[in-house]
Structure 1
Amino acid sequence: MTTRLPLAAILAVLLGGTASAQMVRTEPQDVPAKEAPAKEGPTKQVPLSRGEVQLSFAPVVKRAAPSVVNVYASHVDKRSSARTSAMEEFMRRFFGEPDGGRGPRGERAQKSLGSGVLVDGSGLIITNAHVIDNMNEVRVALADRREFEASIVLRDSRTDLAVLRIKEPPGGLAPMPFGDADRLEVGDFVMAIGNPFGVGQTVTQGIVSALARTQVGSADYQYFIQTDAAINPGNSGGALVNLQGQLVGINTAIYSQSGGSHGIGFAIPVGMVKAVVMAARDGQTVVRRPWLGARIQNVTPDIADSMGLDHPTGVLVASLQPKSPAEEAGLKRGDLILSVDGQPVDDPEAFGYRFALKGITGQTKLGILRGTARQVVAVKLTTAPETRPRDPLKVRVPSPFFGATLVNTSPAVAEDLQVDFAVDGVAVDSVDDNTTAARAGLQKGDVVVSVNGMPITTTKDLAKAIAMGTGIWQIAINRNGEMMTSIFRG
């Protein structure tokens, strides 16, 4: 009879562990005269020291965690108790709210919870714009539980990023250093640090699942890092960290049907974070971005085949704005843009992200394919011009436009609203909830072309058309390049 110890027991003895093992008895086996050769495969080995068994991410967390804060935002609407509506009184009695949802002196408050990251010692914090959307009061809690009031320095809905500043910053703040998201590879270890569900600072670990994810739908610049590190509600605005304790992304969205983590989370790459932080440091309240002045489109398999490409890549120049940086650089309709300063682009989202990072001074080089020849063109970096005043019109009279704000179009407006610069008319800048305009289906970015047959080129034209309304409205709008006509009554 022979006695064999399991491998776990041998390791426990060698490494000084306490694991116990049971004796396993096996009957002798007939050994073949010649064993078959072992199949070749990856070399495996057991840990050689206690240190290798006890490998941990704890040192990285100790470096990064003090830089992550909890963000508590609220919108306080002060009303006197005398203005309490009958519906509010009913809700108070039916649901048992002692103050009808009001705080002291009849205040009503909406609340939001998220996370943020300290990015410099002066108390500057980056978070998601949706965490503070419509909020007017913000407090942040440091990792050591100290709380401070913060002001909102900048909101940028197009990137879903916002910058806060601690009003009276204490000494000894620990800003997180920026990493380089372009050096990430699929399979790299990363950690997500935030405040899920408001339970307190939490760290989860995973890998980079994919890079350059688009069509996620949480921002105009859709170019995300995908990770399987658990991200849950409250993690928004928190840090995605590499193993050097550096910030590589801001956690912003999850893919979930239940609201919980399903192992698919998305983070805004740190390159865009740095651009927004730099704008805040320069005193900007609105992020200014470079203007190309060209409409670009995806390259379909058919287009790729017609151009002799092995596979779809790059973005196709569909049209050019006169006197734009694109036209002045020599770009032509039909050119295929393949790269921005050597960084390849495979779709309009990737191009928009790369181009937006270049700032508004100097120039950038675009690699293009024209026919069968590859070229490099230098494009001037500048902002889109405001060729005419926006002259905003907030519609407050009965009409399908009631609750909408409209502005005159210009290259600057087209860039802000992401509409086609070639469209004449007035653009919908915003639509209030639960208004006639919202129920009529008007959307931000719609361009009103005519009302009851009257051409609309300015907001003054629209005001006149609304004043002449007869109860039947025929409205033509351009939405994403498609003309739509609707008829409304009332």
Structure 2
Amino acid sequence: MKKPLLVLSALALGISSVIAPVTATAALPVSVNNQQLPSLAPMLEKVTPAVVSIAVEGKHTSTQRLPDSFRFFFGPDFPEEQIREQPFRGLGSGVIVDAGKGYIVTNHHVIDGADKIIVQFYDGRELTAELIGSDKMSDIALLQVKAPKDLAEIKIADSDQLRVGDYTVAIGNPFGLGQTVTSGIVSALGRSGLNIENFENFIQTDAAINSGNSGGALVNLNGELIGINTAILGPNGGNVGIGFAIPSNMVRNLTEQILEFGEVKRGVLGVQGGELTAELAEAFGYETNQGAFVNQVMPDSSAEKAGLKAGDIIVSINGKNIRTFGELRAKIATLGAGKKVTLGIIRDSKAQDFTVTLQEMVQNTVKADNLHPGLVGAEFANTSSSDNTKGVKVTNVAEKSLAARYGLLKGDIIIGLNRSPIKNLGELRKALDKNPAVLALEVQRKDAVLYLIIR
């Protein structure tokens, strides 16, 4: 990605003939009438070293169907489609959330499809990062670098405590210019329906956010992380005073799941609904139009088991108010499967509380290409409650791939690696992080247990 060319111009005023040479520079005052002038500098001196620039390289693959005339001239064995690879480069930002382990949070769309991820730190150092895991539906990715001992990290704040009007500071790498700081306020909360990603519960801010700020930090005046900058609303990717960030509580929930399970174990409530309009609120005897209206409760879902009904108005999660159905959907999805939540409900004009244990949404598969060279071509997922065995399920194996050559089959369940039990993708990833010279995969195949040796 090319950096934009900045052109500076000045009026030709014959400055040298008008202004006398300056012999001394007067320092700006730090206080007036013995009162310290306000400045963000002390806070930023602590926070900015924890915000990094990210450069990625990769290839986009596209498939183009060839005209039938090609097969006529070159014969029936000529391929019907042509695969093209287009190299790309991209820039973004990231935030160090654990200095000791070298964990860095950024956006999924920043690193999507990247073969190489380079992190540049505040002091100019560069390190290659490894992708630990990402979640496209909420646009979060977790990277790791082999961390030096002197990295800084950002403390994560409780984003549920944010209010419209709170001051915000955005830190990132816009247009590849280098680290840049802008300030503003929280313009709105619980924004959704922007058609950006599947789960939207954005903080809206007027702090200037531009292309390249994606994955950077949105902090409060205490220097605590309140969000990960992810999107802007403006022509040609330019700032118009409307930017969006993923709340820090969502970021924390998602990264914890990626570390524990190797993927996001998304929770599902089992309701369909929409926004609570003023007309609906009046019809159901509710005084405001903030909340999520339930149109339908799905059979055998978490919501049905807890006693929710169509016509209920969900107004809070774990005692914290929600404003929209989109906010409800995003928070439930990122809390994680198996979590117990308390929902505040308005039913027949009366407030009630219901405790719900979230079920697990159908899991997405994870490509094994980045886990180990011998597993290239396989796709994995955590086993579900319908599987009798707990482990990592092989959901697909590409023909003639290395994984196929080593004997992996679709439907296999990996239950052990080098005599250590494997219960989920997180444990498999941790075991492979040790770079064993030989993999002895213990595999459950139907009713039999066997070992596959991968070198």
Of 232, 236, 241, 1:263 maps to 241
Cα distance in 1, alignment partners of residues 279 and 184 from structure 2: 38
- Residues 314-393 of structure 1: matches in 2 within 5 Å? 314-384=291-361
Task: Quote how far apart the aligned CAs of 1:362 are.
Answer: 4.2
- Residues 138-153 of structure 1: matches in 2 within 5 Å? 138-153=117-132
1:307–1:60 CA distance, 2 compared to 1 (3 A): same
Unmatched 5+ stretches in structure 2: 1-25, 62-84, 366-383, 387-455
Task: Quote how far apart the aligned CAs of 1:376 are.
Answer: 1.1
Cα distance in 1, alignment partners of residues 217 and 333 from structure 2: 22
Cα distance in 2, alignment partners of residues 184 and 349 from structure 1: 18
Quote the residue 1:49 is aligned against: 33
Of 175, 178, 198, 1:220 maps to 198
Q: Are 2:273 and 1:296 aligned?
A: yes
- Residues 58-207 of structure 1: matches in 2 within 5 Å? 58-76=41-59, 109-121=87-99, 122-166=101-145, 168-207=146-185
CA contact (8 A) 1:159 1:219 kept: yes
- Residues 250-289 of structure 1: matches in 2 within 5 Å? 250-284=228-262, 286-289=263-266
Q: Report the aligned-residue RMSD.
A: 2.8
Q: Deviations over 1:458-489 (max 9, x none)?
A: xxxxxxxxxxxxxxxxxxxxxxxxxxxxxxxx
Q: Deviations over 1:167-208 (max 9, x none)?
A: x32222111110122222222222111111111111112222
Cα distance in 2, alignment partners of residues 349 and 318 from structure 1: 14
Query: What secondary structure is seen at the aligned counterpart in 1 of 2:241?
Result: coil
Task: Quote how far apart the aligned CAs of 1:313 are.
Answer: 3.0
Cα distance in 2, alignment partners of residues 297 and 411 from structure 1: 30
Task: Quote how far apart the aligned CAs of 1:62 are.
Answer: 0.8
CA contact (8 A) 1:155 1:163 kept: yes
CA contact (8 A) 2:95 2:105 kept: yes
Letter in structure 2 aligned against 1:52: Q
Cα distance in 2, alignment partners of residues 375 and 305 from structure 1: 18
CA contact (8 A) 2:286 2:349 kept: no
CA contact (8 A) 1:67 1:118 kept: yes
> Which of structures 1 and 2 has the bigger CA Rg?
1
Cα distance in 1, alignment partners of residues 94 and 133 from structure 2: 14
Of 231, 241, 244, 2:222 maps to 244
CA contact (8 A) 2:311 2:347 kept: yes
CA contact (8 A) 1:385 1:411 kept: no
Letter in structure 2 aligned against 1:379: V
Task: Quote how far apart the aligned CAs of 1:250 are.
Answer: 0.6
Task: Quote how far apart the aligned CAs of 1:153 are.
Answer: 1.3
Cα distance in 1, alignment partners of residues 60 and 311 from structure 2: 53
Quote the residue 2:78 is aligned against: none
CA contact (8 A) 1:160 1:218 kept: no
Query: Normalising by the residue count of structure 2, what TM-score does the alignment of the two structures yield?
Result: 0.65
1:248–1:18 CA distance, 2 compared to 1 (3 A): closer
Cα distance in 1, alignment partners of residues 108 and 34 from structure 2: 45
Task: Quote how far apart the aligned CAs of 1:18 are.
Answer: 8.8
Greater strand proportion: 2
Q: Deviations over 1:334-366 (max 9, x none)?
A: 222221111222321111133234333341111
Query: What secondary structure is seen at the aligned counterpart in 2 of 1:126?
Result: strand
Cα distance in 2, alignment partners of residues 18 and 149 from structure 1: 42
Cα distance in 2, alignment partners of residues 217 and 329 from structure 1: 31
CA contact (8 A) 1:76 1:137 kept: no
Query: What secondary structure is seen at the aligned counterpart in 1 of 2:129?
Result: strand
Q: Deviations over 1:277-315 (max 9, x none)?
A: 11222142x211212122122223332222122332322
Cα distance in 2, alignment partners of residues 56 and 275 from structure 1: 33
Task: Quote how far apart the aligned CAs of 1:245 are.
Answer: 1.1
Unmatched 5+ stretches in structure 1: 1-16, 20-46, 79-106, 391-409, 413-490
Larger RCO: 1 or 2 (CA < 8 Å, sep 6+): 2
1:305–1:160 CA distance, 2 compared to 1 (3 A): same
Cα distance in 2, alignment partners of residues 246 and 320 from structure 1: 39
Cα distance in 2, alignment partners of residues 196 and 363 from structure 1: 40
Cα distance in 2, alignment partners of residues 254 and 385 from structure 1: 30
Letter in structure 2 aligned against 1:112: G
Letter in structure 2 aligned against 1:120: D
Q: Deviations over 1:2-53 (max 9, x none)?
A: xxxxxxxxxxxxxxx899xxxxxxxxxxxxxxxxxxxxxxxxxxx7535423
Cα distance in 1, alignment partners of residues 138 and 361 from structure 2: 18
Cα distance in 2, alignment partners of residues 18 and 295 from structure 1: 62
Letter in structure 1 aligned against 2:127: F
Cα distance in 1, alignment partners of residues 118 and 214 from structure 2: 15
1:18–1:359 CA distance, 2 compared to 1 (3 A): closer
Letter in structure 1 aligned against 2:53: N
Cα distance in 2, alignment partners of residues 241 and 18 from structure 1: 29
